[in-house]
Amino acid sequence: MSTPVAAIDCGTNSIRLLIARRDEASGRMVDLERHLEMVRLGLGVDRTGRFDPVAVERTLDAARRYKVLIDHHGVAPEDIRFVATSATRDASNRDVFIDGIREILGITPEVITGQEEAELSFRGAVSTVEGLPDGPALVIDIGGGSTELVLGTDHPTHRISLNIGSVRLTERHLRSDPPTDEEIAAATADIDAMLDQAEQEVPLADTAALVGVAGTVTTVTAVATGIRDYRPDVTHGARLDAGEVERLCLTLLGETREERSRHAVIHPGRIDVIGAGALIWARVVHRVVAAAGITETRTSEHDILDGIALDLLDRVP
């Protein structure tokens, strides 16, 4: 086994840790630890442009727990990579958060661009989903603050990051429980305008496979499969009819938070924002079906977090 590495992905809604090694015989990445905590770091950032101090402290507490695991596996500081995405890009007081992480982990977090976020998500997703058709795959990463679209075969050829995400759209438009028709119309217009922009830069008609990653898509997939307990071995690689995906997304959007909580596979930290994420996924699926004529979606449990770890493993002996 190779030297262990630690990848941390800190987004708008969650902070995740992956500690992994590379198996020397197969060359494949082997998980040692994989954890997620819902910290909602990006709470209010779309409105205020600043981090909420309580949200920062929640996130730093999670980082302290991750530090215990990193030390347990003997990961050297130079083999840790902490990546911060949409919320940290947008927050004017990000230095408070960055300084806190530096004090806890002994490394400086990287506030990466949406373009790099897209590339890392692409690598994590397409390297693990089997049975994709020949031709370009379009990977969609729906986060709390942004959504990335990246198209390519072995490597990305087109990419874009859009300022729409499950937390951002919930705070901006979907405030009622359940959302009103007017709120849904406003959110849909916001998403569609962003997708108009995306279609100018990413040739959606070239899509041979539509692969969704991250919490919104994996949650929708889990609900679609009917499982009671969340099982990544069931959701990873899942094939779903595109029309059914759209219908289920709109059903989740229209439910009350109490009704969503009855789906045992929806993490409590996603109950209030899964409707917005589902709406984004529905509009993306609709747009790609119209452009490329695909009939199904694929789901990957592996995304930017895996891309970060793979990038680290490329650097170590």
Where do runs of H (alpha helix) occur along 210-303?
Answer: 214-225, 232-235, 242-254, 257-261, 274-292
Identify the three-state secondary structure at position 154. coil
Identify the three-state secondary structure at position 166. helix
Angle of helix 304-313 relative to helix 114-126, nearest 10 degrees, comes to 80
Which tens digits make up the pLDDT trace of 130-177?
888 889 999 998 988 889 899 998 888 998 989 899 888 998 899 999
Band of the pLDDT at 43, cuts 50, 70, 90?
confident
With a cut of 70, say whether residue 228 has pLDDT above it.
yes
Beta bridge partners of 160: 149
Q: What is the predicted pLDDT for the residue at 77?
A: 93
What value does the mean pLDDT take over residues 238-242? 93
What is the Cα–Cα distance from 217 to 266, expressed in whole angstroms? Answer: 11
Mean pLDDT, the chain, whole residue set: 89
Band of the pLDDT at 1, cuts 50, 70, 90?
low
What value does the mean pLDDT take over residues 299-313? 88
- For residue 314, what is the DSSP state? T
Phi-psi sector, 93: left (phi>0), alpha (psi -120 to 50), beta: alpha
Which tens digits make up the pLDDT trace of 193-227?
999 999 999 999 999 999 999 889 999 999 998 88
pTM passes above 0.85: no
Transcribe 81-140 into DSSP letters: EEEE-HHHHH-TTHHHHHHHHHHHHSSPPEE--HHHHHHHHHHHHHTT--SPPSS-EEEE
Are the C-beta atoms of residues 45 and 55 closer than 8 Å to each other?
A: no
Which tens digits make up the pLDDT trace of 176-193?
999 999 999 999 999 999
Which residue type is seen at 211? V
What is the Cα–Cα distance from 242 to 281, expressed in whole angstroms? Answer: 11
What value does the mean pLDDT take over residues 104-124? 83
**Which residue, chain included where needed, has tokens 């897209």?**
118
With b for 16 or more beta-carbon neighbours within 10 A and e for fewer, the 218-255 pattern comes to: bbbbbbbeeeeeeeeebbbbbebebeebbebbeebbeb
- Which of 47-51, 88-92, 229-233, 312-316 is least confident? 88-92
With a cut of 80, say whether residue 242 has pLDDT above it.
yes
The distance from CA 251 to its chain's CA centroid, rounded to whole angstroms, is 21
Domains of the chain (ranges, CATH numbers) = 5-114 (3.30.420.40), 129-301 (3.30.420.150)
